[in-house]
Amino acid sequence: MRILNIGPLWRGSNAGGLFRALSRQGCLIEVVDEFYFVSLQTRKKSTKILERIIRPLQEDEFNSAIKKQIEIFKPDILFVYKGVFVTTDTLTFARDRKCKLVLFYPDVSMSAHGANIPKAIPMYDLVFTTKTFGIKDLASKYGVKNAFFIPHGFDPDIHRKLETSSEENAIFGCDASFVGNWSPKKEEWLVYLKESLPDLNLKIWGDQWGKADPVLRSSIRGRPVLGDLYALAIQCSTINLGILSEQVLGASSGDLITSRTFHIPAASGFMLHERNEESVLYYKEDEEAAFFDGPEELVAKVAKFMNDEAGRERIRLAGHKRALAEHSLDARAKVIIERFKLL
């Protein structure tokens, strides 16, 4: 099976991890990485203005590269991860050359990342969503009847136990940490946690936290952690918080699980995760992970487990074992390949 993968390959990327897992399962793969064509990491205002001017040219070059690889590689499947910059014209080009079209969509809302995704969704032969509610959203908004739920998984190349030095513990060590981008709900709950437990050494890693309440100023690290640094941050944190994103425009629900649901235990971290009907299906509560519902219980559980080293260690080890047994991207890739065979 030849699969042309469309998505980023940077170290720690969920897309890149999944592409490598497909390769480990014996598929022939090629990758077109949008980061080689579309500039996405600039911070200066002047550069951002220039980017907006040249972005259409970059997108055209990216889609031309996909078409060129289709002609050279002759894939059975065009496997698009998210597809922010993939146009309907490119999908038509692939279909005319007998490619099956598959979308892997990892986010909450299909309409929050530009115009290309909503236009393209109805063209795919199969859509994978990492949100159970995504199946309903795809059917009601886009008429998709070929959606399939598959959860995120961990990348064994990244989310693994590492040796840590005193220097790394000084940078990443803390009582509790949250890794993820800012949102109003996350800010509200973390402010409540910090105000309730003012002596808690809390570290927050991610983008956009500069807008947060000053109560969190001492906790905000001012940048994301990626790749191996992400795994180190998990290991060096006594408690890793799994606070989920709230509902946004274009989605019928907020997150119920996320990639961190699997990254944290796989990287040998103790996980305190938001409780809902879905998150408790993957780990046994108080045996393989701890759970909370709302900011009040979050505070209570952090206080409890900060004073229960033996309990934390028992849960951490069992959660790590469960993740390794069931939740790798290799396990997800096997399921994906079986669905490919039905196309």
| Domains of the chain, CATH where assigned | 2-153+328-340 (3.40.50.2000), 166-326 (3.40.50.2000)
pLDDT at 41 over 80: no
Q: What is the pLDDT of residues 24-38, one digit of tens each?
A: 999 999 999 999 999
Nearest one of 44, 1, 86 to 342, comparing CA atoms: 1
For residue 112, the model assigns a pLDDT of: 82
pLDDT band at 249 (very low <50, low <70, confident <90, very high): confident
Cα(300)–Cα(23) distance, integer angstroms:
44
Distance CA 240, CA 154 (A): 16
Q: Which of 107, 245, 248 is nearest to 182 (CA)?
A: 245
Give 50-79 pLDDT, tens digit per residue.
888 898 999 999 999 999 999 999 999 999
How wide is the angle at C-alpha 69 spanned by C-alphas 68 and 74, nearest 5°?
115
pTM: 0.94
Q: What is the pLDDT of residues 91-147, one digit of tens each?
A: 999 999 999 999 999 999 988 888 999 999 999 999 999 999 999 999 999 999 999
pLDDT band at 49; cut points 50, 70, 90 = confident
User: Residues 47, 53, 57, 59: what is their CA dihedral angle, to the nearest 10 degrees?
Assistant: 70
Q: Kindly tell me the sign of the dihedral angle through the C-alpha atoms of 73, 76, 78, 81.
A: negative
Percent of the chain with pLDDT over 90: 91
For residue 42, pLDDT over 80 is answered with no
